[in-house]
Structure 1
Amino acid sequence: MPELEEPETGTEPNSVTDVLDGPVYVVTAAAVGEVAGCLVGFASQCSIHPPRFMVWLSTLNHTYRVARRASHLAVHVMRRDQQALAELFGGETGDRVDKFRSVAWQRSTDGSPVLTDACAWFVGRIERHVEGGDHMGFLLAPTEQSPPVEGVPVLLRYRDVKDLEPGHPA
C-alpha cells in the first residue's frame, strides 16, 4: 500500500473530531474457516438508495486480514450496558485470543458471525474496498438484518470506550 504524506501542522480536523461522539460497532467477518471481530469507530450509512454502509478497518488489525478474504461483514450496534462486549472486541486481538469463545453467536445465511446479544445488527455484502491511509474502507450492501428494536435504546458511544486499551494499535 502506498505511503500517504503526513498532513502539515494544523491541517488535522481536530476542532471537529474532538467533539464527535458517534456510536461504536463490533464488526465481524468469516473466511476460510476463520472468524474475527473488532470494535470499530469509523462507520456510517453512506447511501439511502441503494442502501449502503461503509466500515473502516485498521490495516494492522487481525479482523482486517480476515475481512479482506470475506464476501460479507456483520455490523453490530451495542447498548451502553454492553461495555464488556466492547472491551472484548476492542481490548483483545484475535492474534492471541478466541473472542468468540465467550460470547453467544450464530452464523448468518452467508456464514458471517452474528453476535446474538447485540442490540441490532446487519450483514452486508462487500461491494468494494477503498484505501484510506491506515484504514481500509469496506462498502457494504445490506443482505440480512436483526428484527426491529423496540423503543430508542441508549447506544454504546465513543466516549464510553475512549480509554479502552486496544488489542492492536489503530
Structure 2
Amino acid sequence: MTDLDTFTDPLDYPLYVVTAAAAGEKSGYLVGFASQCSIRPARFMVWLSKANRTLRVAARAERLAVHLLRHDQTGLARVFGGETGDRRDKFSDIAWHRGPGESLILDEQAPAWFVGRVESRVDGGDHVGFLLAPEAAENVSGGEAALLSLHDARDITPGHPVA
C-alpha cells in the first residue's frame, strides 16, 4: 500500500465506459480515472491503461465517447471491464451506433454520454491521459439515474492485469 492508497481507498467515484474507433477497429473499456478538468473551455480528461487494447485504438482515434453507467448496469461494466478486446468483440452483443466523427455510442444503455475530440495525450505513468473537447452530448436520464461507482464494480476482475 502506498501513501496515495491511504488517501484514495475511501473514494467512490463514478465509472465510465470509454469507446474508441480508428482504422476500422473498435474498442472500449471501463475507466475509473476521469474528470472534468476545465469549465471554459469545457474539457474532460480520461486516462487509459497502457496494458489495454483500447489505448492502442484510442492512440489513432480523433474522438472518444465517454458513457456514464447506471448503478444497476454491472453486467455492462463486466463486459467492458472484465473482458479483453484482444479475445472478444465486446460490441457483438451490445446495441450501438456511430456518433460524431465515427465515434461509438452505446444505444440507450448509458444514462448520459458525450463525444470529445482528442486535443492532446499525456503520458501519466502506467496510463495515458486523453484531453477531450466535448462536441456532442446526450443525457437520457434527465440527471435522475444513480450512477455506477468504483465500489459497485469492486468484484469485476480486470480483463488485463492492473499495471
TM-score (structure 1 length as normaliser): 0.91
Cα shift readout 1:35-68 (whole Å, capped 9, x = no counterpart): 0000000000000000000000001100000000
1:151 Cα deviation after fit: 4.3
Provide the residue aligned with 1:146 in structure 2: 138
1:73 alignment partner, one of 38, 41, 64: 64
1:149 Cα deviation after fit: 2.9
Letter in 2 for 1:103: I
1:11 Cα deviation after fit: 5.5
Cα shift readout 1:130-158 (whole Å, capped 9, x = no counterpart): 11000000000000111453242100000
1:12 Cα deviation after fit: 3.0
- Structure 2 unaligned blocks of 5 or more: none
Distance 2:116 2:8 in 1: 27
2:14 alignment partner, one of 19, 23, 39: 23
Distance 1:49 1:56 in 2: 21
Distance 1:118 1:147 in 2: 8
Provide the residue aligned with 1:155 in structure 2: 147
Q: Does 1:166 align with 2:158?
A: yes
Provide the residue aligned with 2:54 in structure 1: 63
Between the two proteins, what is the percent identity of the paired residues? Answer: 58
Could you say if the C-alpha distance between residues 91 and 30 of structure 1 is closer, same or farther in structure 2, counting changes exceeding 3 Å? same
Letter in 1 for 2:95: A
Distance 2:84 2:146 in 1: 27
Letter in 1 for 2:123: E
1:70 Cα deviation after fit: 0.3
Count of matched residue pairs: 161
Q: Does 1:126 align with 2:79?
A: no
1:163 Cα deviation after fit: 1.7
RMSD: 1.2
1:81 Cα deviation after fit: 1.0
Distance 1:20 1:47 in 2: 21
Provide the residue aligned with 2:103 in structure 1: 112
Provide the residue aligned with 1:40 in structure 2: 31
Distance 2:3 2:124 in 1: 15
| SS state at 2:102 partner | coil
Larger radius of gyration: 1
Distance 1:83 1:55 in 2: 20
- Structure 1 unaligned blocks of 5 or more: 1-9
